[in-house]
Structures are given as C-alpha cells and as structure tokens.
Amino acid sequence: MLKKKDRYVVAVVGATGAVGNEMISVLEERQFPVEQLRLFASERSVGLKIDFRDDQIRVETLDNDSFKGIDIALFSAGAQRSEVYAPIAAASGCIVVDNSSAFRMHNDVPLVVPEVNPDDIKWHKGIIANPNCSTIQMVVALKPIHNVARIKRIVVSTYQAVSGTGKKAMDELMEQTRSLLSFKEVQCNVYPHQIAFNCLPHIDKFLENGYTKEEMKMVNETKKIMGDNSIRVTATTVRVPVFRGHSESVNIETEKKITANEVRALLSTAPGVILFDAPEKNVYPLAIDATGKDATYVGRIREDESIEKGINMWVVSDNLRKGAALNAVQIAEKLVEFA
C-alpha cells in the first residue's frame, strides 16, 4: 500500500492529451496533497509547460527511469504505453492508476469505481485499473439498486460523445459541422463515416461475436466492478455528434421487485449521483448540463411495463471527468485514505 505522508510526488503520463489535461485540473480543483507534480508525454510534447497551481510544469519525456521517487502515477497515454511502462512504474515502487484498457480484466488488478467497490483498492499489486468511461457512470447509478434488489440483467444503449475518441475527433466534428453549414463536402479522417448530424453504431473494433470491443468492455467490466458474474449484460454503443458527455438508456431486471419511487429514494442519497427526474417539468439529464461536472445524473426513472421486475432510466455523465480523470483522482484519494 501507499506509504503515509503529508504530501505526495504525483506523475501524470499522457499529460498533454484531453484526459491528461483533465487529470491535472482535477488534482488542482480537489486540492490533492501534491508535493511535486511530474508530467510526461510523447517526445513531440517535451518542453511544453502546463499550469498547475501557481507554477508552470515542464513536460518530460517518458523512459524506464522516469518513476524513481514517484508515489502515484496517473496514466492516460493509451494501452500500448501502459503495457510497457505501468509494470516498470510499479516495479519502482510507484502505484499506477491506469486509465487504459490494458489491465482492466487482469485477475490480479483491481478495477475500481470508488463509489462502488473502493475496498478492492486494498488488494492491488502496484497497478489499479480505471474502468471504461461508459461503464463507470452506469455502475455508479446501478450499485445502490443492486445492493437492495439484486440486478439479474442489464440492457444498455449508449450515446457517446466524440471526446471519447480524443481531440482529433472533436476537431473533426467541428470541421464537418462547419462544412455542412457552408454546403461543402465533409472529410472523414477519424471515423469511417460522417459524424456531424449523424449517429454511428460503431465504437472501437468489431469482434467475431458481432459486438464491438466497447460493448464487450461494458459487459465484462460491469461484472467485475459489481463483484457478480451472474449479472447478464448486453450493450449497444453509439457515437453521437456531441462534443462532451455520454448518455445511456439503461434497462434492468431485478430479482426482487423494486418500484420507480423506491429507486428514486435510493438514488437521491447515493454517492456521486444527482437525481434529475421531473419529466413533467422537462427536467431530465442532458449532456450539456453534465459537462464539466463531477456527478452522474439520473432521470427518466420508470417501471418497465413489459416485465414484472424491470426499471428503465437515463444516465448522463461527463466522460472526461467521472468517466476518466475524476475517477482516477478519486482512486488516488482512496489510496491516501487507506495509507
């Protein structure tokens, strides 16, 4: 476990990307006890300076000796780099919180959402995995229900922002929108089809079973985080022309009957959840309302009239914050708490 200190040496790997930038902001906003912040990125970013508190931190190149003296490293540099450098960091005595998919399903690596399974942090062996963005917000909303009524089956359809792909995808949506409004031909470089004014039922690669990798992440990660392999999960993930914030239509079937009002009561006090559920007043979660916010917003809660023990809900969260950077920093906060 982490050695107890007043302040810690913290690294952000992939500091110049969208998630890395958000991690730096969240560390500052939440006043994480940082003694020294080290920033690492690819060679083309070395030498850039990024604001943190009242200082400017120079971006360094990443190598095998980068992690000496570092207590906690937040990784947001992609699976390939994590596979190489996370074990090196852990071997040096640094605790890694990895945002990539590289270690999520490893049996000896905890996959953690602090509102759901914080105690799993305690059995880490140097690496802790940050789950997929779409999985995080869903399990934050579902765990309180599972604790009371036990969820048997989940059917989820996602409406995911382009920021989940990165800055180039955000730029592509902007440029395509400009082109279409100017009656010009659009260019598709990031996605295989036009994303502006369109929806793509295609996130990550297609697998032999017909699902995408993103969909199977939701299936497998949900079971691991919730600690229940008996939950049956199916997902359809869709990329939509939204810059930031993932939305999800979630249908669950429970073992014990639970009413919509009982779900509202549970979620009204659930950690990390804000209830936005007054559809008669046009109050329900929107991606634009969740942008820049830490919470997972839940609304449109209603009983599924097609089955005896079913609930429908609408779940929205900022994919760069709770879906990535915030969750990673919250894991680091738990490490400090448990030290």
Q: Pick the catalytic residue: 94, 124, 146, 246? A: 246
**Judgement on whether residues 269 and 299 belong to the same structural domain of the protein:** yes
Q: Is residue 65 part of a domain?
A: yes
Query: The CATH number of the domain where 39 resides is what?
Result: 3.40.50.720
Query: The CATH number of the domain where 158 resides is what?
Result: 3.30.360.10
Q: To which H or E segment does residue 202 belong? A: none
What is the span of the domain harbouring residue 254?
135-319
**Judgement on whether residues 80 and 172 belong to the same structural domain of the protein:** no
Q: Is residue 264 part of a domain?
A: yes
- What SS3 state is found at 107? coil
Q: Is residue 2 part of a domain?
A: no
**Judgement on whether residues 82 and 220 belong to the same structural domain of the protein:** no
Q: Establish whether 94 is a catalytic residue.
A: no
pLDDT of 43 strictly over 90: no
What pLDDT band is residue 34 in, cutting at 50, 70 and 90? very high
**Judgement on whether residues 114 and 160 belong to the same structural domain of the protein:** no
- Phi/psi-derived region of residue 153, left when phi > 0, alpha when psi is between -120 and 50, beta in every other case: beta
pLDDT attached to residue 315: 98
User: Cα–Cα distances in Å, from 190 out to 21, 169, 176, 205, 320?
Assistant: 21, 6, 11, 13, 19
pLDDT in tens, 330-339: 999 999 999 9
**The token pair that represents 304 in the structure block:** 């599924």
pLDDT of 175 strictly over 90: yes
**Judgement on whether residues 223 and 109 belong to the same structural domain of the protein:** no
Q: Establish whether 133 is a catalytic residue.
A: yes
pLDDT of 129 strictly over 90: yes
Q: Pick the catalytic residue: 94, 124, 133, 146? A: 133
**Judgement on whether residues 140 and 226 belong to the same structural domain of the protein:** yes
Q: Is residue 208 part of a domain?
A: yes
Number of domains in the chain: 2
- How far apart CA 66 and CA 15 sit, in angstroms, is 14
**Judgement on whether residues 38 and 16 belong to the same structural domain of the protein:** yes
pLDDT attached to residue 44: 86
